[in-house]
């Protein structure tokens, strides 16, 4: 993983240097701050996706959950509910959604792809019904100084979403790479049956992975709602799940499960934002962002597959060498 992370870090620095040479505005203070803000916003749910992918699962309802919980959060605030209470309600709903997905996958033996694809449709539909296909927004002239400062403000010029992203990334790194639960996640993703026979409660591990994913997505929904100040359920959060998958795959998380690095995901988020920034600075139509994202996902999957083939061949070569030495 360290070699992958270093390689991705070099790629990020190289792309950043190329972008800066093409357009010096890339390294301007305003552009760097805006890019950091977007890295924070998109990074939260990308880390969330990583916890599911490491178990060999997938979460396709990220964008729809952001839309639904964003609508609910804005509506609660607009109705006069105190923002700490509204935040707790949204986080609790995220926990419920994650637990529901986990139970359907572990208890009813449904495929993660099917469960989360249905969630993608259901949550988007509920969000549109909730607002009667309108836009959820704050009343004209309303102001929430404390909430706005925490969600969209800056400290020493650093956007708060980016700070939140760094804090979550540090906590996720410790949880995934330095705890027993993290080792269980990797074990379940590598071979669920073997993990079960070794005494790991695989059902509980998978459910917790989806709960963590949904709660972090709920946090992201709050930041996005405050960033946009309004939520259009039909379009808010569209394709965000693909962004999260792309960042995770770039970060070394195998779609087969059992592999990955939080540092890699963070670098993947940075690389995607730098690429999107390049598209904007060059005046390329923003619609090509999706083409860039699709190309990145494809390249990441191909690279991951080739790397796995190389490692398998290397292991087999070592095994054959060892057998030959024993036979002699």
Q: What's residue 300's pLDDT?
A: 64
Element (H, E) at 159: strand 158-159
pTM: 0.86
For residue 98, CA distances in Å to 50, 124, 199, 263, 278 come to 14, 16, 24, 24, 35
Of all residues in the chain, what percent carry a pLDDT higher than 90?
Answer: 37
Residue 85 CB burial class (10 angstroms; 0-12, 13-18, ≥19): exposed
User: What is the rounded distance in angstroms from the CA atom of residue 94 to the CA atom of residue 164?
Assistant: 18
Residue 105 clears pLDDT 70, i.e. is over it: yes
Residue 11 clears pLDDT 70, i.e. is over it: yes
Of 151, 147, 161, 164, whose CA–CA distance to 81 is shortest? 147
Q: Decide if 22 is inside a domain.
A: no
Residue 282 clears pLDDT 80, i.e. is over it: no
Q: Provide the number of structural domains found in the chain.
A: 1
Number of alpha carbons in the 13 Å side-chain half-sphere of residue 25 = 11
Q: Decide if 49 is inside a domain.
A: yes
Residue 116 clears pLDDT 90, i.e. is over it: yes
Q: Decide if 281 is inside a domain.
A: no
Q: Decide if 151 is inside a domain.
A: yes
Q: What's residue 322's pLDDT?
A: 64
Mean pLDDT of 304-320: 73
| pLDDT tens figures, 26-84 | 778 788 888 899 999 999 999 999 999 999 899 999 999 999 999 999 888 888 888 89
Q: What's residue 315's pLDDT?
A: 75
| pLDDT tens figures, 167-193 | 999 999 999 989 999 999 999 988 888
Range of the domain at 122: 30-269
Q: Decide if 77 is inside a domain.
A: yes
Q: Decide if 318 is inside a domain.
A: no
| pLDDT tens figures, 187-240 | 998 888 888 888 888 899 999 999 999 999 999 999 998 888 888 888 888 888
Q: Decide if 309 is inside a domain.
A: no
Residue 284 clears pLDDT 80, i.e. is over it: no
Q: Decide if 147 is inside a domain.
A: yes
Q: What's residue 296's pLDDT?
A: 66
């Amino acid at each position: 993983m360290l070699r992958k992370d270093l390689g991705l870090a070099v790629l990020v620095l190289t792309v950043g240097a190329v972008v800066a040479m093409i357009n010096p505005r890339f390294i301007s203070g305003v552009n760097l701050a805006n890019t950091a803000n977007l890295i924070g916003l998109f990074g939260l749910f990308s880390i969330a996706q990583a916890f599911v992918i490491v178990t060999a699962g997938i979460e396709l309802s990220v964008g729809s959950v952001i839309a639904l919980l964003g609508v609910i959060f804005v509506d609660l605030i607009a109705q006069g509910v105190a923002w700490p209470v509204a935040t707790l309600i949204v986080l609790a709903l995220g926990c419920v959604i994650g637990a529901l997905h986990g139970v359907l996958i572990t208890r009813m033996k449904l495929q993660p792809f099917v469960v989360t694809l249905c969630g993608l449709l259901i949550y988007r539909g509920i969000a549109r019904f909730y607002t009667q296909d309108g836009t959820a927004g704050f009343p004209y002239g309303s102001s929430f100084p404390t909430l706005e400062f925490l969600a969209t403000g800056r400290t020493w010029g650093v956007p708060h979403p980016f700070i939140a992203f760094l804090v979550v990334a540090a906590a996720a790194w410790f949880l995934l790479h330095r705890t027993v639960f993290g080792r269980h996640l990797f074990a379940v993703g590598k071979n669920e049956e073997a993990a079960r026979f070794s005494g790991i409660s695989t059902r509980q591990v998978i459910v917790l992975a989806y709960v963590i994913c949904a709660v972090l997505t709920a946090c992201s929904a709050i930041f996005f709602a405050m960033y946009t100040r309004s939520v259009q359920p039909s379009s808010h959060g569209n394709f965000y799940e693909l962004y999260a998958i792309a960042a995770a795959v770039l970060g070394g998380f195998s779609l087969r499960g059992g592999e990955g690095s939080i540092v890699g995901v963070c670098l993947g988020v940075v690389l995607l934002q730098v690429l999107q920034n390049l598209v904007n600075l060059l005046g390329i139509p923003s619609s090509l962002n999706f083409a860039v994202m699709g190309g990145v996902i494809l390249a990441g999957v191909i690279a991951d597959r080739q790397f796995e083939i190389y490692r398998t061949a290397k292991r087999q070569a070592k095994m054959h060498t060892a057998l030959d030495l024993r036979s002699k």
